[in-house]
Every structure is written in C-alpha cells, then in structure tokens.
Amino acid sequence: MSAVSVGNPKEEFIGGLALGPLTPGPVLMIAAAVFLPSFILMLAILPVLDRVRQLAWVRAVMKGMAPAVIGVLAVSLVRLAPAALPDPIAIVILAATVTALMVFQIGAFKLMVGGAILGVLRSHLAAIPGFQAVKYRITWTMV
C-alpha cells in the first residue's frame, strides 16, 4: 500500500487554476452555477432598475464595490505569489510574459506555449549538477 502525499494547497490551487481552461466542461458548469443566481436576480429587478439606480445608497454601494473587489484580488495575488513564483527564474518568466503581453501584444495562447517550453527547459536545467548551486546563489543574492 502506498502513502498518498498531500502537496501545498496553494501550489495545488495554482495548478488547478492553470489547468482549468483545458477542461471546458467543468469550468462551464461551475460558471453556470455561479452566475445563475445573479442572472435570476437581475431578471427580477430589471423592470425597476432605472428607479433603483437613482437611489443614493445604491449609487454609493456601486462606487464602493469596485475598490473592494480590487482589494480582494490584490490580497489574493499577494498570498499566492510565493507559491506561484518559487524562484528567480519564475519571476523572470513572469516579467517576460507581462512585457510580451503589454508591449509586443503577443497572444495569450502563444505565451502559454512559450511558458510550457520554458518550464520544460527549466526542469532539464535543474538536472544539471551545477545549476542548483547557481540557482541557490541567485536566490540568496536577491533576498
């Protein structure tokens, strides 16, 4: 009988997040379940939507909601960053990807394929005996 190893939950979440677009069935079912209540609610208030939008407290809620959502996303990003960026090579790949997206406007699919290739190359580099020492030295000089 073999023991089942449990990984880091943050790393498992990031792995699942990365694999989600590859499996459209479950993603679509979850999206439908998530958006169904709000869709029904919007259908119910649609006839009185113009009157509701004129209420001062509704306008205040809408103004405060955007910064709150941005804050929640920022906190999630900060908490997941150590698991998503475990070493300097991952940070360089992230910076190159963001640069390619913003400056060169390369498509996301091409960047995903490029990231996969870089990940495979990185794993092969890790097998080289001297690479771990160089990686360790780079990590400590950045800290």
Name the one residue in this structure whose structure tokens are 């205040």.
Answer: 60
User: Residue 1 pLDDT > 50, yes or no?
Assistant: no
Q: What is the pLDDT of residue 4?
A: 47
Task: Supply angle C-alpha 89, 85, 28, rounded to 5.
Answer: 120
pLDDT in tens, 49-89: 888 888 899 889 989 998 999 999 999 988 988 888 887 88
User: What pLDDT sits at residue 44?
Assistant: 85
pLDDT at 130: 67
Determine the straight-line distance between the first and last CA of the chain, rounded to whole angstroms: 42
Residue 127 Cα distances to 52, 94, 102, 134, 140, angstroms: 62, 22, 33, 12, 20
Q: Where are the domains positioned within the chain?
A: 9-84, 87-143
Residue-wise pLDDT tens digits, 85-140: 887 888 888 899 889 999 999 998 999 899 888 888 887 877 777 666 555 555 55
Structure tokens, 63: 């103004």
* The pair of three-digit structure tokens given for residue 92, joined into one six-digit string: 């360089």
Contact assessment for residue 88 and residue 138, using Cβ atoms and an 8 Å cutoff: yes
Phi first, then psi: give them for residue 104, nearest 5 degrees: -95, -10
Residue 38 CA to residue 40 CA, distance in Å, equals: 5
What pLDDT, on the 0 to 100 scale, is given for residue 16? 75
Tokens of 27: 């993603």
In this model, does residue 18 exceed pLDDT 90?
no
- Is the pTM higher than 0.95? no
